C-alpha cells in the first residue's frame, strides 16, 4: 500500500536538518514542470520511469505530480520494483501551492 505524505509534512521534513532528505521525483510532463515545480525536484516524466528508475538514489523517494494521481501510480510501481521507502505527495503541486508556497504558479 502506498504511503502518502501531505504538503505541510513534506515541507517540515525538507526543513529538518537532522533528517535525511528524500528524493523529490516529479513525474509530470516538461511543460508542467516549467510552470510550477518544487525546488530540488528530479524530473522524470511518468512514461520514462521504467527506463530511468535506476537513476534514483537509495533512500526515501517522494513522487510528485499535479494532483496526486500519477504520483500515486508511480509510487505503487516503485514499491513493486523493490523501493523500500516511497511516498506520494497527496494533492500534488496544487496542494503544495495551497498549503506551503502560495506564490507558486497554478495551472
Please count the residues of the chain. 107
- Does 23 participate in catalysis according to the annotation? no
Active-site choice (44, 65, 89, 93): 65
Distance of CA 69 to the CA centre of its chain: 11
Buried b / exposed e along 31-52 (16+ C-beta atoms within 10 A): ebbeebbbeebebbebeebeee
Give dist(CA 20, CA 40) in Å, integer.
14
**Hey, which residues are catalytic here?**
65
Amino acid at each position: 500500500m502506498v504511503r502518502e505524505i501531505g504538503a505541510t509534512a513534506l515541507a517540515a521534513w525538507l526543513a529538518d536538518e537532522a533528517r535525511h532528505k528524500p528524493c523529490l521525483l516529479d513525474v509530470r510532463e516538461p511543460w508542467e514542470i516549467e510552470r510550477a515545480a518544487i525546488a530540488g525536484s528530479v524530473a522524470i516524466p511518468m512514461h520514462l520511469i521504467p527506463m530511468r528508475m535506476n537513476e534514483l538514489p537509495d533512500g526515501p523517494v517522494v513522487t510528485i505530480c499535479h494532483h496526486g494521481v500519477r504520483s500515486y501510480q508511480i509510487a505503487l510501481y516503485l514499491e513493486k520494483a523493490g523501493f523500500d521507502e516511497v511516498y506520494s505527495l497527496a494533492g500534488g503541486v496544487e496542494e503544495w501551492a495551497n498549503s506551503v508556497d502560495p506564490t507558486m504558479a497554478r495551472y
